[in-house]
Amino acid sequence: MTNTINSTTTNESVLRTLRSLMPARVLSYAEALQRAELQAGRLLSLHGVRSPGVPIEIVTELPRIRVEQNYDLPVSASAHWDSGYWVISVNAGEFLLRQRFSVMHEFKHVLDHPTRHLIHGDSRARLTPDRMAEKVADYFAACVLMPKAWVKTAFCTDRVQGIEALADLFQVSPMAMSFRLTQLGLTTQADRCAMPLGRRRQISTVPSASRRSYFRALPALTGVLA
């Protein structure tokens, strides 16, 4: 199924809506992750995206957001304010699937800009403020591109359990997909699915039908990250 953006609100209010979900107080790491997931879900619902293959345009087509590719960037991505725009720069030397993740990661930093002074880290989680901000941004990106409910449906209901097949479905790198499965406790196969014990059976890994490499260019980025 190909996703098309069907916004239920004006693009002008997306940033405001998502930022309103973040309380103006210091959050623990666990609370910050919960809020990031809430923001990710709201971003998808605002644009009417309901299935894997999230269009990158839900961010790149927002007002005052400009995405640029830069071959000289020493990191995967960065974001800064410039002349009335938030500029998200992505490393053009990295694979496009990685760039998709990086755009969402940096967009979380844009969302957190007004409350960045409230990111104090988490001593229990042994996280400095900077490290916590990075991990929460990674989690937000994963929640946008690989929502928990969608991954569990694909894995447990539709039986798409091969890393490459899932990565292809969600348009992310196999590495990102593997990490997300571990994060959701889906690192093994049929025994992780919600089935009665008597009905469980071992499901063999399903390879990607076409064995396409994740190095390919994605239509979702073509013409956007120019």
User: Which range, of 11-25, 100-114, 165-179, 196-210, averages the lowest pLDDT?
Assistant: 196-210
Mean pLDDT score across all residues of the chain: 84
Kindly list the domain boundaries of the chain, sorted by start residue: 11-145, 146-217
Asked if pLDDT for residue 156 goes beyond 60, the answer is: yes
Read off the pLDDT band of 30 (50, 70, 90). Answer: very high
Asked whether the predicted pLDDT for residue 23 surpasses 60, the reply is yes
| Per-residue pLDDT at 191 exceeds 60 | no
Which pair of structure tokens corresponds to residue 166? 């899932």
For residue 21, how far is the Cα from the chain centroid?
A: 17
How many separate helices (H) and strands (E) can be counted in the chain? 8, 3
Given pLDDT bands bounded at 50, 70 and 90, which one contains residue 127?
very high
Asked if 221 and 99 count as a contact pair (C-beta separation under 8 A), the reply is yes
With a threshold of 0.85, does the pTM exceed it? no
Q: What's the mean pLDDT in 197-201?
A: 37
| Model confidence pLDDT, tens digit, residues 43-88 | 999 999 999 999 999 999 999 999 999 999 999 999 999 999 999 9
Q: How far is it, in rounded angstroms, from Cα 35 to Cα 56? A: 21
CATH 3.40.50.1820 fits 11-145, yes or no: no
Please answer whether residues 6 and 48 qualify as being in contact, where contact means their C-beta atoms are separated by less than 8 angstroms: yes
Q: Biggest alpha carbon distance in the chain?
A: 62
Give mean pLDDT, residues 21-25: 95
Per the listing, tokens 């087509």 go with 61
Q: Please report, rounded to a whole number, the percentage of residues in the chain having pLDDT higher than 70.
A: 77
pLDDT bucket at 16, cuts 50 / 70 / 90: very high
pLDDT of residue 2: 59
